[in-house]
Amino acid sequence: MKNWRDLKAFAEAEGFFVTSTTGGNHNVGSKHAKGLAIDVRTRDQSNEAIELFLLKCELLGIRVRDERKRPNGQKVWSGSHLHLEIRQSFAHEN
């Protein structure tokens, strides 16, 4: 995975709807502006589907921030979702 397009293709292939890529309003330091992160909607997924998706992300080296509930101290939050980002070391490979 090199950029948000790779993340988007993966998430959509797994049946998840991508709600944000490089645009929108994100927290300071977010990887969205660098093209290394996306958000995916969870409201239309079962807990089992989400858990399997999280496992696949882990196996692929994708960092996931579970934002199904608003994280403490987070200023910007758009509702229940998963934040996926490419680890910097993975973004520079290949």
- What is the CATH number for 43? 3.90.1150
What is the per-residue pLDDT across 4-33, written as a single tens digit (0 to 9) for each? 999 999 999 999 999 999 877 776 677 888
CB atoms within 10 A of CB 49: 14
Residue % of the chain over a pLDDT of 90: 56
List pLDDT tens digits, range 62-81. 999 898 776 666 666 566 79
pTM of the model as a whole:
0.81
Task: Tell which residue, 88, 81, 94, has the closest CA to residue 21.
Answer: 81
Number of compact structural domains in the chain: 1
Six-digit token string for 62: 């994708």
Residue 55 confidence (pLDDT): 97
